Each structure stands twice: as C-alpha cells, then as structure tokens.
Amino acid sequence: MILRMPELPDVVVYVERLAARIGGHSLERVRLASPFLLRTVTPALSEVEGRLVHGVRRLGKRIVFSLEGELFLVLHLMIAARLHWRQAQAPVPRRVGLAAFDFSSGTLLLTEAGTKRRASLHLVRGEGALAAFDRGGLEVLGADLAGFRAALHRESHTLKRALTDPTLFSGIGNAYSDEILHRAHLSPLALTLRLTEEQVEALFCAARATLSEWVGRLRREAGDGFPEKVTAFREGMAVHGRYGKPCPVCGSPVQRIVYAENEANYCARCQTGGKLLADRALSRLLKGDWPRTVEDLEERLSSQRRS
C-alpha cells in the first residue's frame, strides 16, 4: 500500500466518523507509545483526562479535538500516520503504534508506517492558541468565485504549487491537486497570473466538483464504519497514481513530473496541448533527447525497447 498525506476529503470523513463516536463522551486517558508525537509541554497532557468532547473539526489537514475547559488536541497525520477505531482499552500496536486515545465510547489508535516519525500532537488552551495552527488558506467548498480568484492571484506560482500551498488553499495536497487540474484541463505548470478569466472559472468549478465528489465517495466507502483505507491511489482517480496508464478521457498515457518527494501527474493531451513537461528522471533515461510530444515519447521509448 502506497501512503500519502490525508487531504481534505479524507480528513472530512475522519472528522465526521470521530464526531459520531466521541462527541459528548469523555476522554479518559491518552497513552503515548512514542515520545516524539507530543510537541507541547504546557498544558500537561494529563489535563485532558476526564474531559468531555465538545466537538471534532478540521483545520486544514489537521484534526482538532475540542474538549471542555477550552482545551484542544491538534493532530497532524502527515504522510504515514493513520487512525483506527477499536474497542475500549485496545492495546497500542507494537512497532507502528504511536498512541491510544481512550474515550468512554471506545479507543482511537494512532499508527504510523515506516521509521520516520512525522505525525504530531499538540495540546493548547484557548481559541487564540488554536488559531496559530491555521495557515490561512481558502476553504474552497465554502468560497465563491471572487474569493477563489483573489486567493489564486495572491502570488505568482505554478498552479500545482498554488493549489497545494496551505496559505492559499486549505486541505488540498498532491493527490487532489492532480485531479483538479485534470478536470480543469490545465497544466500543472501554468502560472496563476497568466490564466484567462475562463480558465480561472474552470479551475474554481473543477476544485469544488472534485473535492465534493471525493468527500461523497469516501463517505459511501466508509458507510457506517470507520475509514481504514486511506491510500495514495483510489479507483476512480483520473491521473494521480496512474503514471503510464490511459487517461480516462482521451486514452493517452498519463505522464508525471517527479520533484523532491512529490510528483505531478497529468495528461498531456488533455492538459498541455500534447506537449510533454520536462522531467529530470525521464530526461536522464533518454540522455537529454527530450521529446516534445506524446507521440515522440512513445516512438522513442519503443525504439529503446526494440534495441
């Protein structure tokens, strides 16, 4: 299973399922299995014991547990951490277990795959302290076109970078930015300040439709249960995680640009007028003989295979 950071649709469903299970119940204890998870020392974690849960909310890609006494537990799953709902007092799994949150209604387990411990938990007091975790990005599903345009034009970025910038747009990451751009028929490297008004509107509509659609899909997938399958690729995605596979719209092979720990997946025919975007990994493979179109790429790779 390939992991990725949970994004807006995933976190929305997590929050909804948690609220149904722990809202109005008390948090009896937090059992930490990793000393690296908790990033704050004041207030002391013991202060949450016995507190009623007033609510669960999303703050960007973070999950916030609102407890009586204006205490807030702020959880960021990062890339590899996941949540699991279990019966009361369930043991913390060895090796991958980070913590157990014991509620009067059951236990929430937090696990993290791999050896890097990136997930974080903060305990803060008061709405003012909680506001420090708000990156300020626009909530697209609650925005109008004017607000979306203003956020998009705040800085000159590529569309891929703008959509995944939490100070511009809230909750959108690597996966859903790929899906939004494919639906809008826009290149991930198009510049925000060079879009036409028609392209801005297309991007706005694509963002709202994509996020709404996937929230609905994940709700149906979870049913009355708890979401357990938060992965890098889901059936029904158009381009994300589908490198080399046919685009569901035109049948052209999905392309990608790899950079740092991220990648942008796109369809050249649908999004870039058939032009390939330069990728360093593939460029090394082809020894600098970079093709300009999908057809050129297919021909050159075919020639390499024959030789």
| DSSP string covering 233-257 | --TT-SSTT-TTSBPTTT-PBPEEE
Per-residue pLDDT of the chain (307 residues; tens, 9 = 90+): 466 889 999 999 999 999 999 999 999 999 999 989 999 999 999 999 999 999 999 999 999 999 999 999 999 999 999 999 999 999 999 999 999 999 999 999 999 998 888 999 999 999 999 999 999 999 999 999 999 999 999 999 999 999 999 999 999 999 999 999 999 999 999 999 999 999 999 999 999 999 999 999 999 999 999 998 887 678 899 999 999 999 999 999 999 998 766 789 999 999 999 999 976 554 444 444 445 565 555 555 555 555 5
271 burial (CB, 10 Å; 0-12 / 13-18 / 19+) is buried
- Contacts within 8 Å (CB) and 24+ apart, 290-296: 293/268, 294/252, 294/253, 294/255, 294/268, 294/269
Do residues 166 and 138 make contact, with C-beta atoms less than 8 angstroms apart? no
pLDDT at 223: 92
Name the pTM for this structure: 0.90
For position 303, what pLDDT does the model report?
A: 54
Q: Which pLDDT score is estimated for 296?
A: 58
- Residues 13-36 have pLDDT tens digits of 999 999 999 999 999 999 999 989
Contact in structure between 76 and 65 (CB atoms under 8 Å)? no
- pLDDT at residue 289, rounded to an integer: 47
Measured distance CA(261)–CA(42) in Å, rounded:
33
| C-alpha radius of gyration, the chain, whole number | 22
Looking only at the bridges linking them, the beta strands covering 255-259 and 262-266 are: antiparallel
List domains and CATH numbers for the chain: 8-131 (3.20.190.10), 140-205 (1.10.8.50)
Helix, strand or coil, per DSSP, at residue 2: coil
212/13 Cα distance (integer angstroms): 12
d(C-alpha 56, C-alpha 8), whole Å: 14
Task: Give the residue ranges of DSSP H helices in 133-196.
Answer: 145-152, 159-163, 174-184
